[in-house]
Structure 1
Amino acid sequence: MTHAFLSFLARHVAPRALRCSTAGPTPRRFALRTAALLLACAALACGTALPLSAQARVKAKHPGVNVSTVLPQSVMAGLQRAHVPLSSISVVVEKVGEHTPIVALNAGKPMMPASTMKLVTTYSGLSILGPDYRWRTSAYADGTVDGNGVLHGNLYIQGTGDPKLVPEELIDLVQKIHKAGITGLDGALVLDKRYFDAATRDLPPFDDDTTAPYNVGPDPLLYAFKSLSFTLTPSPDGSVAIDVLPALAQLQIDNQMHAINGPCRGDAASVSPSVTPQPNGTVVASFTGDYSVRCAPRTINVAVLDHSAFFAGGFLALWQQTGGTFSGATREGPVPTGARLIATHQGPMLSDIVRDINKFSNNTMARNLYLTIGAMEETPPATPAKSARAIQAFLRRDAINMESLTLDNGSGLSRDEHVTALALADLLQRANASPVAQVFVGSLPIAGVDGTMRNRLNNEGAGGNAHIKTGTLRDVRAIAGYVASADGNSYVVVSLINDPHSEAARAAHDALLEWVYQGPAQGFAQPLAQAADPARSKPRKNPHKRGAH
């Protein structure tokens, strides 16, 4: 451990643990966290074991409880190869329905969870809003419609944060407007985006890759994740076809690509477009360079423009494709009191949205869901603070103790979000016993099958038997979910690594999942000191146990 980290423990963690220990019955989290931190200090910084007197007190107070603070040999080997010290990993393994961990290492240490934070957001969203919840995108009109179907007035589109307002969904709203008798617009297209606070817009990207789709922020009128997908297909005649989805009314493609013979070389950056807004309102995507005919078609995803320009361009492209005309301007503004509702589109059910968020770790969808929770539990406009309060209040009502939880945007794409492995394990246990268990567990990637786990553990026993949410940031790697083991039991597994070498530790996480699948009774690396979590010595009654796979 570094001197700075030890100083932090002395200033912040130790005083809290001591205050807790003198204030009556010791809460289980402080007991486990204190034991784990002392063990980590002993093994990694001090070079000695936990004092025998402390071990004796734990065993005397909680006889018969065995919680290993030692990892399996296969996991230890993976960490050693990755040069990740034990102080950088936090692990909890427990049987579903039981609340005494089988393994608990640094379990109460706040860690950056990366995308495993989506478990908190999606479980809270399913429980608060309900799996059948749907977002609404509505159209209003003022003015009159003449005999030719031209609206002499403004058309207003009001959004509530639908995370999956893609072309296949937005076309429904366009067609409903046409069915209301409107085929032409000579007023303005006005976007009402008051459902989310203006402070949630134009946030700085998480990193320097400003055109990366994962950096796209939330918006009440999020359309197609504010990203264009360009597909390049070379042809033997020397041309390169460029297709784009979704269509934007103002987008023009300047294609100066040439198909050539020779080996397929280069990466996506070498054929990425330069996207430039023009003074006349158009946007030009320019492609230059050579592309080998030996290359397969390649799709490049690029985030462009701001949310309002992107939505307006997408809406008008669909409007014009369906025979609509438009001669006005686009702007933002509120729906006036006297405007009449002419069409409403209901998005997919939240159960489907949660599946997309967790299977594919979609940050933008998670951030829209996060803000929606705040708007629904309090009042619009949504803010991150309202969402954090709503989720924290729900977790307290649901008897999930997450004292170290720090929320920022709900997606895990943050250096400010923290949680403990123990808290995530508690959430997974509660979710598995909840009315939304089937939807929640089914939304997690399946090892070797789909989502972010499709290429992991394909040829191992855990393949097809582990529902695992993954998380990856620079210096962060995480897994959290459920494993159905060969011994017929189901286990909750959480492991969070915060270390500069975390990227190399994927094998250690895979080894942990395979070890759990084979059956935790197979043993550990060596019989080192053990610590108990007093509150987990007696499993909670769980009459609704279900959902783990």
Structure 2
Amino acid sequence: MPFTCAAVLALTLACVAAPAPAFARAKKVKNPAVNVTTVLPPAVMAGLARAHVPLSSVSVVVEKIGDRTPILALNAGKPMMPASTMKLVTTYAGLSILGPDYRWRTSAFADGTMDAGGVLHGNLYIQGTGDPKLVPEELIDLVQKIRKSGINGIDGALVLDKRFFDVSTRDLPPFDDDTTAPYNVGPDPLLYAFKSLSFALSPSPDGTVAIDVQPALAQLQIANQLRATNGPCRGDLTAVTPTVTAMPNGIVDATFSGDFPVRCGDRTVNVAVLDHTAFFAGGFLALWQQSGGTFSGTTREGAVPVTAKQVAVHQGPVLSDIVRDINKFSNNTMARNLFLTIGAAISKPPATPEKSVDAIDTFMHRSALPTEYLQLENGSGLSRDEHIPAISMADLLQSANASPVAQVFVDSLPIAGVDGTMRNRLTGQPVNGNAHIKTGTLRDVRAIAGYVASSDGTSYVVVSFINDPHAEAARAAHDALLEWVYQGPSVSMSDISDASRAKPRKNPHPRGAH
């Protein structure tokens, strides 16, 4: 599929001709006598030196679009932790296997009889399939459809059918000790609002602090003991973090206490609470009651019986929109739900990580992409067991750009200086607006992977992983690499090393546990 517009980023200009990859393809070189340099640009070397990162901890690949022979390669075949750039593997595979228009379905079933007042004498079942973006604005659609079916009240149980994901995918240990951090929330077939509460705090000169929370939970109560003060805003504002306690009677108490200086201004804090089942049930019932519905039963998990009648179906956003959220904002939980969905779609539910790994491996083989050193665990990059060589990531980016899902895939990546995780980077540099880059950050890991349109109209694939205790300080080196590529990398003969591609070393690590 030839590129029919100027060599610019897809989000910068809209083509009016035939659909095409988001980055211009370079002509493939026939019988290439290609030279590969392993010498990094001086500004990149300086950034690494300032961060005290040795070259042995760095992996870099730069290629022209359409030509998989690198013009710059350092430790290209070394398996590295990619952090959140691993989401590129999951989202490209997901778009290709499921299709950009794929939608998750969340369904409601009734089992029992209804009286003249619309009260269901029986159970209401909610069956999930892993919708990654079942937020209040989406779940209300299901509630309204249930009400339109004639059900006004439920005097049986609210039963959640979560069989789409295997039970082994539940109650996974958090990645780190920050157990209430939303990024640590695991996958679930009935993932609701990322299982996190967002508290908005607004101090007033009269000494009060207003607290708003989203989403509403039927069992949540807020104890507001905050005092707005006139003191300076200094240090950590511990008052904005609530103490959340699940009470024996089912009530969830969120207590705020302490001084809140007015000068600190409005603050928002996001906290992951409860388990998925309790969180979804509380969120559903809050919307149900807000719509005028009544409920006098209990909540539990269980399978939809064959005798139950389907009363409503909600279809979530299309996968292309989901992938945009995953890559722009690096949402781990959404990526993990997509990862498991891939396995369920190919091998049938219940979803397991093993099924997803097999499905992605098969897709990669069919796409002539290397998998020898690819290690997947949850597909989000929030893992110490996920690895991929930079040269393999570059191959994937080349394949994605030449694929039927190229436009959707590239559109999903953050744009340097514009949006997503790159919105505050390179804002004052010429590369601003000219690079679609997925970022990745873990303790001891910095990563970038994506596309750069250079100043001369040539487009490049750029991948770099840093795995080192000083990786956090090396962001400037990655920024310098992107700036260098934008300026139009040219390889002088004095910098050229051997012409062959770096050969991947034998991977000393087994595939990560799944």
Q: Residues of 2 paired with 1:375 and 1:68: CA distance?
A: 43
Q: Residues of 2 paired with 1:139 and 1:321: CA distance?
A: 18
Q: Which runs of 5+ in 2 are unaligned?
A: 1-30, 504-514
* Alignment RMSD: 1.3
**Aligned-pair distance for 1:266?**
3.2
SS state of the match for residue 345, structure 2? helix
Task: Write the letter of the residue equivalent to 2:332.
Answer: N
Answer yes or no: is the 8 Å Cα contact 2:35–2:497 preserved in 1.
no
Residue 278 of structure 2 corresponds to 309
Aligned pair partner of 1:263 in 227, 232, 235: 232
Matches within 5 A, 1:104-253: 104-253=73-222
Answer yes or no: is the 8 Å Cα contact 2:170–2:187 preserved in 1.
yes
Could you give the per-residue CA deviations for residues 200-222 of structure 1, whole angstroms, max 9, x where no partner exists?
A: 00100000000000000000000
Residue 532 of structure 1 corresponds to 500
SS state of the match for residue 376, structure 2? coil
Answer yes or no: is the 8 Å Cα contact 1:156–1:190 preserved in 2.
yes
Answer yes or no: is the 8 Å Cα contact 2:51–2:471 preserved in 1.
yes
Residue 376 of structure 2 corresponds to 407
Q: Residues of 1 paired with 2:239 and 2:378: CA distance?
A: 33
**Aligned-pair distance for 1:257?**
0.2
Residue 471 of structure 1 corresponds to 440
1:292–1:269 Cα change, 3 Å: closer
SS state of the match for residue 377, structure 1? helix
Answer yes or no: is the 8 Å Cα contact 1:69–1:531 preserved in 2.
no
Higher helix share: 1
Task: Write the letter of the residue equivalent to 1:364.
Answer: T
Percent identity of equivalent pairs = 77
Task: Write the letter of the residue equivalent to 1:99.
Answer: R
How many pairs were matched up? 473
Aligned pair partner of 2:287 in 318, 324, 345: 318
Aligned pair partner of 1:84 in 16, 30, 53: 53
Larger radius of gyration: 1
1:269–1:209 Cα change, 3 Å: farther
**Aligned-pair distance for 1:530?**
3.3
Aligned pair partner of 2:459 in 477, 490, 493: 490
Aligned pair partner of 1:353 in 296, 309, 322: 322
Q: Residues of 1 paired with 2:199 and 2:353: CA distance?
A: 33
1:242–1:124 Cα change, 3 Å: same
SS state of the match for residue 374, structure 1? helix
Q: Residues of 2 paired with 1:477 and 1:269: CA distance?
A: 29
Aligned pair partner of 1:438 in 402, 407, 419: 407
Residue 69 of structure 1 corresponds to 38
Q: Residues of 2 paired with 1:239 and 1:522: CA distance?
A: 63
Q: Residues of 2 paired with 1:79 and 1:260: CA distance?
A: 45
Task: Write the letter of the residue equivalent to 1:296.
Answer: G
Answer yes or no: is the 8 Å Cα contact 1:268–1:300 preserved in 2.
no
SS state of the match for residue 253, structure 2? strand
**Aligned-pair distance for 1:269?**
3.9
**Aligned-pair distance for 1:294?**
1.2
SS state of the match for residue 217, structure 1? coil
Task: Write the letter of the residue equivalent to 1:313.
Answer: G
**Aligned-pair distance for 1:293?**
1.1
Q: Which runs of 5+ in 1 are unaligned?
A: 1-61, 536-549
- Is the aligned partner of 1:447 residue 2:416? yes
Residue 46 of structure 1 corresponds to none
1:490–1:304 Cα change, 3 Å: same
SS state of the match for residue 80, structure 1? helix
Q: Residues of 1 paired with 2:113 and 2:297: CA distance?
A: 15
Q: Residues of 2 paired with 1:145 and 1:179: CA distance?
A: 14
Answer yes or no: is the 8 Å Cα contact 1:363–1:411 preserved in 2.
yes
1:268–1:119 Cα change, 3 Å: farther
Residue 544 of structure 1 corresponds to none
Aligned pair partner of 2:425 in 423, 438, 456: 456
TM-score using structure 1 length: 0.85
Answer yes or no: is the 8 Å Cα contact 1:254–1:284 preserved in 2.
yes
Residue 383 of structure 1 corresponds to 352
Task: Write the letter of the residue equivalent to 2:382.
Answer: L
Q: Residues of 2 paired with 1:209 and 1:380: CA distance?
A: 31
Residue 42 of structure 1 corresponds to none
Could you give the per-residue CA deviations for residues 339-385 of structure 1, whole angstroms, max 9, x where no partner exists?
A: 00000000000000000000000000000000000000001000000
**Aligned-pair distance for 1:531?**
4.2
**Aligned-pair distance for 1:265?**
2.1
Task: Write the letter of the residue equivalent to 1:439.
Answer: V
Aligned pair partner of 1:294 in 237, 249, 263: 263
Residue 26 of structure 2 corresponds to none
Could you give the per-residue CA deviations for residues 179-229 of structure 1, whole angstroms, max 9, x where no partner exists?
A: 000010000000000000001001000000000000000000000000000
SS state of the match for residue 62, structure 2? strand
Q: Residues of 1 paired with 2:254 and 2:499: CA distance?
A: 60
Task: Write the letter of the residue equivalent to 1:397.
Answer: R
**Aligned-pair distance for 1:511?**
0.1
1:329–1:523 Cα change, 3 Å: farther
Q: Residues of 1 paired with 2:240 and 2:34: CA distance?
A: 59
Task: Write the letter of the residue equivalent to 2:131.
Answer: D
Task: Write the letter of the residue equivalent to 1:337.
Answer: V
**Aligned-pair distance for 1:271?**
2.2
Answer yes or no: is the 8 Å Cα contact 1:448–1:456 preserved in 2.
yes
TM-score using structure 2 length: 0.91
- Is the aligned partner of 1:396 residue 2:365? yes
Aligned pair partner of 1:480 in 434, 441, 449: 449
Task: Write the letter of the residue equivalent to 2:397.
Answer: L
Q: Residues of 1 paired with 2:121 and 2:234: CA distance?
A: 55
Answer yes or no: is the 8 Å Cα contact 1:136–1:344 preserved in 2.
yes
Q: Residues of 2 paired with 1:68 and 1:136: CA distance?
A: 50
Q: Residues of 1 paired with 2:380 and 2:469: CA distance?
A: 21
**Aligned-pair distance for 1:262?**
1.5
Task: Write the letter of the residue equivalent to 1:533.
Answer: R
Residue 244 of structure 2 corresponds to 275
Q: Residues of 2 paired with 1:367 and 1:345: CA distance?
A: 21
Could you give the per-residue CA deviations for residues 43-77 of structure 1, whole angstroms, max 9, x where no partner exists?
A: xxxxxxxxxxxxxxxxxxx9832000110011000
